[in-house]
Structure 1
Amino acid sequence: MEEDLLTRTIIGLAIEVHKVLGPGLLESAYKECLFYKIAKAGFIVEREKAMPIVFEDIKLDCGYRIDILIENTLVLELKSIESLTDIHLAQTLTYMKLGSYRFGLLMNFNVLRLKDGIKRVVNGY
């Protein structure tokens, strides 16, 4: 599936989840519900995908995890916080760099309208 269509489809599913749950829940609730919706839609999806760091030719598991990875292409980093900051964007870009993923979505579910809490991220390598 083309990346723009995939991204729009996933945003639509996230909006469906947000409309049902609303703001104010823990990140884990949104993650589980969105994972369910994405899998139900027939996508290849992984949650809590480990992202090791390669240092001096050794892979080190330092506890980094991608919230949701879709079709081995699109990184989802989910938050439920007052507002997104540059550090959240940096975190998303780091996961994308570590896994050589080009596209990501940073989503903050703790907003009245989810579209106001979404940032599309493209990694130029």
Structure 2
Amino acid sequence: MTENEISNTIIGLAIDVHKSLGPGLLESAYKECLFFKINQFGLFVEKEKAMPLIFEDIKLDCGYRVDLLVEKKSVIEIKSVASLSDLHLAQTITYLKLGNYKLGLLINFNEVLLKTGIRRVVNKL
């Protein structure tokens, strides 16, 4: 699957999770449910994937963890906040750059209509 196909699938699954749970829960609840749905769909997904920083050929553990990494291609960063900020976007961009991934989704589940809380983030490699 391409990154775009993966992201379209993830968005559909995220909408299913949001329809079932609604807004207002903690991020961890949405992460667990979306992880389950992605697995159930048959895609390879890793949760809390460590993202080291490589500096001068040295791997440094800065404590970065990607919420979900799907098919070793797509970063999914999950939030449950009043509104997404530039800091959330910067976090997603950081993961894309450190892992050399092309596409990520920043999803804020704390929206009445989930569609308004989804941002596609592209790494211009």
Fold similarity call, TM over 0.5: yes
Map 1:33-48 onto structure 2 (within 5 A): 33-48=33-48
Please give the per-residue CA displacement for 1:68-95, whole angstroms capped at 9, x wherever unaligned. 0000011000000000011111110000
Which amino acid is the alignment partner of residue 86 of structure 1?
Answer: D
TM-score by length of 2: 0.98
TM superposition shift of 1:4: 1.8
Separation in 1 of the partners of 2:45 and 2:25?
22
What is the identity percentage for the equivalent residue pairs of Structure 1 and Structure 2? 66
Which amino acid is the alignment partner of residue 18 of structure 1?
Answer: H
Map 1:1-125 onto structure 2 (within 5 A): 1-125=1-125
Indicate conservation of the 8 Å contact 2:51/2:66, yes or no: yes
Q: Point out where structure 2 has 5 or more consecutive residues left out of the alignment.
A: none
TM superposition shift of 1:57: 1.6
4+ residue runs over 4 A deviation? none
SS in 2 for 1:20: helix
Separation in 1 of the partners of 2:107 and 2:5?
17
* Matched pairs, number: 125
Separation in 2 of the partners of 1:55 and 1:2?
29
Q: Point out where structure 1 has 5 or more consecutive residues left out of the alignment.
A: none
Report the RMSD for the aligned CA atoms in angstroms.
Answer: 0.7
Indicate conservation of the 8 Å contact 2:3/2:102, yes or no: no
TM superposition shift of 1:117: 0.1
